[in-house]
Amino acid sequence: MYEHHTHGLLAWPEFLRRAAGHLFVASLIVLASVVAGTFGYHLLGKLQWVDAFLNASMILSGMGPVDRLVTTSAKLFAALYALFSGLVLVSVIGITVAPWLHRLFHLIHLDDGDAR
């Protein structure tokens, strides 16, 4: 996926396309996570759609829940969704930052004559 350390630095247009692709994948992961959380809060927590979306968004962003859940299944879902959201946060940051870190490390290890 990335260029080998013996190859030159990727040109900016190609690099920006790569970074945009990573950002697109990260956005799809966030979108799928919010949709899953919204459905879970709506179906198990018996929340209205907007309230379910609000809770899913707040948990996914690390802010915390908004509404109080009363059923055991809703509480279990909320706990598992919170754990899942923490992993999503770390993954999305890694996916988004990976091309930039790779470029930095690649730049550090280039010979003086290889930079573009």
Domains of the chain with CATH codes:
31-108 (1.10.287.70)
pLDDT of residue 111: 63
pLDDT of residue 23: 98
Interhelix angle for 72-108 vs 49-60, to 10°? 40
Compute φ and ψ for 79, nearest 5 degrees.
-65, -45
pTM of structure: 0.86
pLDDT of residue 53: 98
pLDDT of residue 4: 79
pLDDT of residue 113: 55
Residues of the chain scoring pLDDT < 70:
110-116
pLDDT of residue 30: 97
Residue 40 tokens read as 């879970």
